[in-house]
Amino acid sequence: MSTLENISCNRAFGGWHKRYRHTSSTTGTEMVFAIYLPPQASGSRKVPVLYWLSGLTCTDENFMQKAGAQRMAAELGIAIVAPDTSPRGEEVANDEGYDLGQGAGFYVNSTQAPWQSHYQMYDYITKELPELVEANFPVNDKRSIAGHSMGGHGALISALKNPGRYLSASAFSPIVNPTQVPWGQKAFAAYLGDDVEAWKAYDSCELIAAADANDRTPMLVSQGLSDEFLAEQLTPQRLKQAARDNGYPLVLEQHEGYDHSYYFIASFIEQHLKFHANFLV
């Protein structure tokens, strides 16, 4: 089991926000994640966990510092875990663009050089990190997952690819059809190669269309209608249609005037936490 190094510790709403560094066997690098432990996580009591996946260019700090999630998490008794968005370091492949390389792991397992050595983010977030968290903190095995933009993509595919592993999933402004939009096409061509069929394994629209009738994870998606990436990169109506066609329990909420920023996330994060609490608590 990886050794955890505590980087920082801050009291918040009766609980604790902590950041840790560890050597990942999955990515072959040092990885950083944050965890908020609510006040209920004390003594012998264990609490459920919401995993939060952030978007392009972000680290664990963006959500934890900007979303204002801790107050409601403390009230509901839910821990929040926020990993980084990619492996990092001098030895880790990178790109000049903000939408590929470090800070842009897209939560896939790369199969192509030079990325495959470290960019195994899907296995990291769905396997190694939960095992590490559950072995070292007062949490139980009740999990949900959420995210924003690229992280919304990661949250939805993680739930869809692992029926029963997450009790619920939600996303703000997710990239729902990456095989058909510029952000996804650039990243998938680099990480996964030229076989477009292989890309579909990480596409929420493809996964939700093919989901088995017995595999149903409740999902909530929030989208701002003033989001500058709405038409070209996000295309939420495609996910709504795929869910409708397959009878999948997806709720898509669209909000006038809201954009792609953390102002949007902060405005509705309490709703998302309460949504997850319906299944976790």
Catalytic residue among 60, 84, 203, 227: 227
Whether 17 is catalytic:
no
Catalytic residue among 17, 22, 148, 260: 260
Q: d(Cα 56, Cα 67) in Å, to the nearest integer?
A: 16
Three-state DSSP class for residue 79: strand
Q: By the 8 A CB rule, do 93 and 52 touch?
A: no
Q: By the 8 A CB rule, do 91 and 114 touch?
A: no
Q: d(Cα 85, Cα 96) in Å, to the nearest integer?
A: 16
Whether 260 is catalytic:
yes
Cα–Cα nearest to 174, from 113, 109, 252:
252
Catalytic residue among 149, 168, 170, 222: 149
Whether 153 is catalytic:
no
The reply to whether omega before 138 is within 30° of 0 (cis) is no
Residues β-bridged to residue 16: 11, 37
C-alpha dihedral sign at 125, 180, 174, 158: negative
Could you give the residue numbers annotated as active site? 149, 227, 260
